[in-house]
Amino acid sequence: MIELIPIEKAIEENSRVKELEKQGFIIIPEKIDEYLGDFKNRVSVEPNENYWKEKRVLITGISGFAGSHLAEQLFDLGCEIHGTIRRHAVPMHENIEHLRGKINLHEADITSAERILGIFEEIEPNAVFHLAAESFIPTSFREPARVAHNNIIGTIKLFEAARRFNSNLDSIQVACSSEQYGLVDPNEVPVTEDIKKNPFRPRSVYGISKCATEQIAWLYHNSYGVPSIITRGFNHEGPRRGIQFVTSVVHRQIVEILNGLRDNIIIGNPNSIRDFTHVKDTVNAYILVSEKKKFGEPYNVCAGKGITIANYVNLAKKIYDITTSVYVDPNRIRPSDVPLLIGKNDKIINEIGWKPTRTIVDIIKDGVKYFEEHPEQLGIEAH
């Protein structure tokens, strides 16, 4: 039996992190008011409703976390929404149940060329958002071949369909990932889109598959003129995040504590530093970059500040006035982790006008509220 480790014994000191903290790139709970002050009166460019109204949009992976939020936003903009879903014996898609009757669903395996081309021919999309992927990194360690096949071959089949059916297509966005950067040297932080300054060093098959996804989009744009939109999303979080992801692991346990169902919090690596953006801000960026038609150009979608997982937990405890103990479960630590990821978002701010407008406190409160409103998901251990 693996023994849990008190978080205090698992915290590691890092001089570079201390330096980044002094430079303002690290969020610490003790100075949260200073951080929140940066968001006062902050505004972002919003999508042009006249541009999107009545456009036919295809979202692969529409029933996923980000896909469901993207569908909501595009529906509000007046789009005709279509989305691919996996075939299940019982067709349950909790994330989009509230959109039933407002969106059009198409059962499809994205690795099936015939099926994907058939969907293109049927709906003649004006814009495509490619979010379908196996995104839980531990799965890519357990089933590397399946994850690689799904994420890479699925992207090729999608772009082949876009190449063969290109008459009405204005944009095809691929949701790439900060995991492409992987093992970032602390002196390279914050990470830019410049591959010479920040080369890809992925530390998982998932990260490798997203490098391939981006290269496929770039290749089809430069070789065939496919209108490829490339976004490199850093960690995006909020309501409906899968229970196996770290923020939801924390949010769910907070709700369990508030309801007297547990008396501690258990996490994986407390020293990882991540750049968290609210999912609603992230999908807003996807829409804006597609609208601006910045083809073949990668854009970081990030907040520009990082937080250790330990301090994420400490901040959540502070918000809900919880004093419970926190432990580290060695079973939840990956074979190879990415220690530090903080992005630089100057490019998307300057060229697109997008800015993150929701704070890390919003992420925590919205995530906790989701589990409070879905008590059926409490008491489920996430690994």
> What is the number of other CB atoms lying within 10 angstroms of the CB of residue 149?
14
DSSP letters for 70-85: HHHHHHHTT-EEEEEE
Mean of per-residue pLDDT scores for the chain: 92
Q: Could you tell me the CATH superfamily of domain 5-42+239-275+306-338+359-377?
A: UDP-galactose 4-epimerase, domain 1 (3.90.25.10)
Which two tokens mark 286? 């996807």
Give pLDDT, residue 1: 58
Contact 114, 307 (CB under 8 A): no
How many whole angstroms separate alpha carbon 316 and alpha carbon 308?
12
Counting Cβ atoms within 10 Å, is residue 167 exposed (0-12), middle (13-18) or buried (19+)?
exposed
- Taking only the tens place, the pLDDT of each residue in 144-203 is 999 999 999 999 999 999 999 867 899 999 999 999 999 998 889 999 999 999 999 999
- Please report, rounded to a whole number, the percentage of residues in the chain having pLDDT higher than 90: 81
Residue 92 is predicted with a pLDDT of 61
Homologous superfamily of domain range 49-236+277-301: NAD(P)-binding Rossmann-like Domain (3.40.50.720)
Residue found under tokens 């972002």:
44
Give the N- to C-terminal CA distance of the chain in Å, as an integer: 15
Residue pLDDT, tens place only, 290-346: 999 999 999 999 999 999 999 999 999 999 999 999 999 988 876 667 789 999 999
Measured between alpha carbons, how far is 253 from 29 in angstroms, rounded to an integer? Answer: 19
Query: What are 209's two structure tokens?
Result: 């598959």
Q: How far apart are CA 232 and CA 354, in angstroms?
A: 14
Numbered ranges of CATH 3.40.50.720 in the chain: 49-236+277-301
Q: What confidence category does residue 91 fall into, taking pLDDT thresholds of 50, 70 and 90?
A: low
pTM: 0.94
Place of tokens 């073949």: 296
Please give the Cα distance from 46 to 213 (Å, whole number).
27
Whether the CB-CB separation of 132 and 91 falls below 8 Å is answered with no
pLDDT at 77: 98
DSSP state at residue 257: H
pLDDT tens string 242-299: 888 899 999 999 999 999 999 999 999 999 999 999 999 999 999 999 999 999 999 9
- With 0-12 CB in 10 A as exposed, 13-18 as middle and 19+ as buried, what is 195? exposed
List of residues 6+ apart from 226 with CB closer than 8 A: 159, 162, 163, 166, 169, 172, 217, 220
DSSP characters for 40-79? TT-------HHHHTT-EEEEETTTSHHHHHHHHHHHHTT-
User: In which residue ranges of the chain is CATH 3.90.25.10 found?
Assistant: 5-42+239-275+306-338+359-377
SS3 helix, strand, coil % of the chain, rounded to 5?
Answer: 45, 15, 40
